[in-house]
Amino acid sequence: MSKNISDLTGKKGIENSLFEKIGNLSKATGTPSIETMEQLADDFLIGKANVYGSASFYDLTREENKGKKAYVCNGSSCLTSGTQKAVSDKLEKHFKAEEIGNMCCLGRCHENSAFHYDGKNYSGNAIDTFDEIKSKQKNPLDNYHVGAIGNPILTEAFTDINSYYNILKEALQKSPVELLSELKSSGLRGRGGAGFPMSFKLESCKNTPSKIKFVVCNADEGDPGAYSDRYLLENRPHSVLLGMIITGHIIGANWGVLYIRGEYPESISIVEEEIKKLHESKFLGDNILGSGFNFDFKIIRAQGAYICGEETALLSSIEGQRPEVRVRPPYPAQQGLFNKPTVVNNVETLACVPWIMQNGGQKFADIGRGKSTGSKLISLDGFFNRPGIYEADMGTPLSVVVNELGQGFKSKIKALHIGGPLGGIVPIEKINDLTIDFESFNQNGFLLGHASVVCIPEDYPMIDYLEHIFEFTAHESCGKCFPCRLGSTRGKELLHKARTENYQIDRTLFADLIETMEIGSLCALGGGVPLPVKNAMKYFEEELKPYFN
């Protein structure tokens, strides 16, 4: 991360994002031309190599994306479901092989067979009606079950904008100190995986002097198997938007930036439309409701990079730099977007804020268990009899989620990969030992994370799944630190060789590899991969024994 480039790209303001310009210039052909990149470098007074380095990083703007017309989801859930080869074969009847790319993940994990075409996502049986889709006679349909057990904080029915934004009217009559006190009382922790107290970030940013501050919604946490963020953005966008406005009021920020995954096109269009409605209702802009508080939104369409789910890489991305993880300190709350104090929180965390302001921090704290307060959204994939998005109070037994909410499995399952690619691989026999909260998962050697659940069926080889995890990490690594960049590639190579040749991996060598990644990586991408690998080596030792010596 270059502080000078952060300052230079920030001079044009968030309204003129270099990253956004790179994305817009890629729409026509799939990648920006050398000439347009050189012009951007001149416009922003930065080096040509900086612009090229950024554009060549992302799946949706790099040279390899040129000429792509359709994309097949290659996320973990679609992988284990075994549906994607058929999708590719059917698309090849309409396009050349080189015109078909991959996207990870489209968030259609509840029914798989997912693909992207002409700016929209499809799944389920949609591939069988591609002629109608191509002629624009058919729009994408996306239905999944939504339910709750306990307190429906994020799944309760939305009323209307005027009624819902009474929460904002009341919040603006209180001081930032009073609102921050409610967040402290609530014990709200980040729902993206780390479980870091939200109030700590806000207080730190609030106390850092600056005329310009930002609230950033990290809607690019693209854990394969997780579609809870997509649910909120498409079905409960005002929980997120209002949460950002109130957060802005607390820390003294006038801009809210939504960095939304390019793989979620419907989410982007829906949020754009709802922001327009807020302007019409005078809940955005200058002097909101006569309070003297100014606030507005900027949507940034991400371009396909899992690493941007890491908050510092996300900030570098918005600035137009390569999305490499930054060394901390300084932390974003003191020196974030364009070197200004910035609060970054994920979608679900921000969506909890309005409920807390309406009902009080203590009421939120009374829900859940211990330091895991409130509720948690859970994504269940297509192997469940009733896949969908579910909300459960923290502390709810995992067995209740599996057997009551998801109504069990359609076929025999040997493990659940919970919490995204960096989450733990939970064998079926451990389901009764876990509850939905941070402590339970940590104490048992797993990770709650996004609480996405990807099923690994009995007939799916664990060696294949481990290779998939390493391959995913190798592809998505920002490349800044060698333990992640090299370790993930070597891990993939070792597992592939053991799987396809008469070769056994040396256990000591492999243990050294994952230990180096765990303790030497700059962020949780390289540092988190060892967790599911260790789980698999422990609980599926007999199955994996032929591949190791």
State pLDDT tens for residues 135-174: 887 677 788 999 999 999 999 999 999 999 999 999 999 9
CATH code where residue 138 lies = 3.40.30.10
Q: Kindly state the average pLDDT of the residues 300-328.
A: 95
Residue 43's Cβ-side half-sphere holds a number of Cα atoms within 13 Å equal to 16
Residues 451 and 485 in one domain: no
Residues 342 and 402 in one domain: no
What does the pLDDT read at residue 248?
A: 98
On whether residue 374 sits in a domain, the answer given is yes
Q: Is 226 exposed, middle or buried (0-12, 13-18, 19+ CB in 10 A)?
A: buried
Residues 314 and 425 in one domain: no
Task: Please state the domain count of the chain.
Answer: 4
Which of 362, 379, 404 marks a domain boundary?
362
3-state secondary structure at position 187: coil
pTM for this one?
0.96
On whether residue 43 sits in a domain, the answer given is no
What does the pLDDT read at residue 7?
A: 81
Q: Kindly state the average pLDDT of the residues 492-510.
A: 97
Residues 222 and 320 in one domain: yes
Residues 157 and 127 in one domain: no
Question: What average pLDDT does the chain have?
Answer: 95
CATH code where residue 351 lies = 3.40.50.11540
Q: Kindly state the average pLDDT of the residues 173-196.
A: 94
Judged against a pLDDT cut of 80, whether residue 427 lies above it is answered with yes
Domain that includes residue 444, residue range: 369-457
Residue-wise pLDDT for 227-273, tens only, equals: 999 999 999 999 999 999 999 999 999 999 999 999 999 999 999 99
Token pair 């920006």 is found at: 32
Per-residue pLDDT band for 6 (boundaries 50, 70, 90) equals: confident
Residue-wise pLDDT for 89-99, tens only, equals: 999 999 999 99
Indicate the range of 33-37, 191-195, 270-274 predicted with least confidence. Answer: 191-195
Distance CA 192, CA 200 (A): 16
Token pair 């190599």 is found at: 49
**CA angle, 374 then 294 then 243, to 5°:** 10
Residues 172 and 280 in one domain: yes
Residues 82 and 136 in one domain: yes
Which of 401, 431, 457 marks a domain boundary?
457
**CA angle, 371 then 225 then 487, to 5°:** 85
Residues 382 and 413 in one domain: yes
What does the pLDDT read at residue 180?
A: 98
Distance CA 253, CA 215 (A): 7
What does the pLDDT read at residue 2?
A: 66
Judged against a pLDDT cut of 80, whether residue 339 lies above it is answered with yes
On whether residue 504 sits in a domain, the answer given is yes
Residues 386 and 522 in one domain: no
Residues 393 and 358 in one domain: no
Residues 287 and 430 in one domain: no
Residues 406 and 268 in one domain: no
CATH code where residue 479 lies = 1.20.1440.230
Q: Kindly state the average pLDDT of the residues 410-438.
A: 97
On whether residue 304 sits in a domain, the answer given is yes
Which of 334, 362, 390 marks a domain boundary?
362
